């Protein structure tokens, strides 16, 4: 089982029951009745797994999956009562890993979560590796797309290379920014991270692994290989 997961479902009885069941299996569960509540959460894209309904208040479930896929490679399981003929195709195309139709037993949901999580852990992490060309000042996405880096971007990326996927504190990032640029302030850090994320999003449709850890710092949740 994943260490933690987000459960998004507006059916309170189903949501609360599944929350209890998964918690008893040792997973930290954070529940949301509205997809907008998830997206407003300070660590919305930092969960290890997502279980979501489709008919949700706020952003529709299929659109929510697309948003998640832009920011995270975490497992996504859809559990929904939507029975339209093209529903399965829509959610899988959007980026979900598996689809279960309600009514469903909680045990079946747990088995599906474990199956998706097992495949994710077994995959070769280097397939998702990003490459840093220090000489050219480029970050190369797994699909080959080239992201041009400013001096401030490069200072951040160097921190993430050293961290090897772990969270880098705001203080450490500010220190490096202050040495490389004139942006060694909190506002400068936020702006630099925002611009870097936008550069990556414009360059490639690949998931942007740059994640915010509220009140702590930032992490690049994918391998970065210097070349």
186-211 pLDDT, tens per residue? 567 888 899 999 999 999 887 788 88
- Domain locations along the chain: 4-122, 126-226
Dihedral sign, Cα of residue 47, residue 52, residue 54, residue 55: negative
> What local confidence, expressed as pLDDT, does residue 184 receive?
47
Omega of the bond leading into 135 within 30 degrees of 0 (cis): no
Tens digit of each residue's pLDDT (9 = 90 or more) over 121-151: 655 455 568 999 998 999 999 888 899 999 8
- Of 16-20, 84-88, 157-161, 168-172, which gets the smallest average pLDDT? 84-88
Q: How much is the pTM? A: 0.63
> What local confidence, expressed as pLDDT, does residue 121 receive?
64
> What local confidence, expressed as pLDDT, does residue 94 receive?
93
Q: Where are the alpha helices (DSSP H) in 123-169?
A: 151-163
Residue 22 tokens read as 């998964």
Q: Which homologous superfamily does the CATH classification assign to the domain defined by 4-122? A: Response regulator (3.40.50.2300)
pLDDT band (50, 70, 90) for residue 213: confident
- Of 7-21, 77-91, 119-133, which gets the smallest average pLDDT? 119-133
Percent of the chain with pLDDT over 90: 58
Please, which residues have CB within 8 angstroms of residue 210's CB and are 6 or more apart in sequence? Answer: 193, 196, 197, 200, 218, 219, 220, 221
**Length of the chain in terms of residues written:** 227
The partner residues of 79 in beta bridges, in order of sequence, read 100
pLDDT band (50, 70, 90) for residue 176: confident
What does DSSP say about strands 217-220 and 98-101: parallel, antiparallel, or unpaired? unpaired
Burial of 187 from C-beta contacts in 10 A (0-12 / 13-18 / 19+): exposed
Distance CA 132, CA 79 (A): 39
Please, which residues have CB within 8 angstroms of residue 5's CB and are 6 or more apart in sequence? Answer: 22, 27, 28, 29, 30, 47, 48, 49, 50, 51, 113
> What local confidence, expressed as pLDDT, does residue 72 receive?
87
> Measured between alpha carbons, how far is residue 26 from residues 2, 3, 78, 107, 110 in Å?
9, 8, 21, 14, 11
* CATH classification (class only), 126-226: mainly alpha
> What local confidence, expressed as pLDDT, does residue 212 receive?
87
Same fold across 4-122 and 126-226:
no
């Amino acid at each position: 089982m994943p260490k933690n997961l987000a459960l998004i479902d507006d059916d309170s009885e189903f949501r609360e029951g599944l929350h209890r069941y998964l918690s008893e299996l040792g997973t930290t569960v954070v529940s949301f009745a509205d997809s907008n509540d998830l997206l407003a959460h300070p660590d919305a894209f930092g969960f290890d797994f997502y279980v979501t309904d489709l008919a949700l208040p706020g952003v529709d479930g299929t659109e929510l999956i697309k948003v998640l896929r832009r920011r995270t490679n975490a497992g996504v399981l859809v559990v929904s009562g939507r029975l339209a003929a093209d529903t399965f195709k829509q959610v899988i195309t959007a980026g979900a890993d598996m689809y279960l139709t309600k009514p469903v037993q909680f045990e079946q949901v747990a088995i599906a979560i474990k199956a998706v999580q097992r495949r994710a852990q077994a995959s070769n992490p280097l397939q998702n590796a990003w490459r840093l060309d220090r000489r050219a000042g480029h970050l190369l996405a797994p699909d080959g797309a080239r992201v041009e880096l400013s001096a401030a971007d490069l200072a951040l990326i160097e921190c993430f290379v050293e961290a090897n996927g772990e969270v880098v504190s705001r203080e450490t990032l500010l220190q490096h920014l202050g040495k490389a640029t004139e942006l060694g302030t909190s506002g400068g850090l936020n702006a630099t991270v925002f611009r870097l994320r936008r550069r990556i999003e414009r360059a490639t449709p690949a998931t942007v692994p740059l994640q915010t850890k509220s009140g702590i710092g930032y992490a690049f949740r994918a391998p970065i290989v210097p070349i």
